[in-house]
Amino acid sequence: MPIYEYVASTAQHCERCRSGFDVLQRLSDAPLQQCPDCGAPVQQRIGAPAVVAGNSHRTSESHLEKHGFTQYRKVAKGVYEKTAGKGPAHIADDGK
C-alpha cells in the first residue's frame, strides 16, 4: 500500500494539515477531501519516490561479520561457500 501526502488547500487549516501529513491507503481508496483533525479541505501532494540504485542497499560483508552474522554464497548445486562471519568454510548437501 502506498503512502500518500496531503496538504491544506485553503487558508483555513490546523498545524497538522498546514505542514502536511502522510496517510497509508490502498490504491483503491478514494483520496481524502478533508483534514482528519480540523476538517479543512486538503489535496494530495506528489512526493518523491524511494528509489534504490545499484547495490547500495546491500549489506557489506564487514558489516555482517561485525554484528555476528555469517553469510554464504551458492557455488554449486547444494554447495555453499562462506563469504563473511564465523562458521564452517563450506556447507554441502550430502543428498540425505
The model's pTM: 0.49
pLDDT tens string 4-45: 899 988 888 888 888 889 988 888 899 999 998 898 999 998
Find the farthest-apart pair of alpha carbons in the chain and give their distance in angstroms, rounded. Answer: 72
Task: Calculate what percentage of the chain has a pLDDT beyond 70.
Answer: 86
The residue extents of the domains of the chain are 3-45, 61-92
Burial class (CB in 10 A: 0-12, 13-18, 19+), 31: exposed
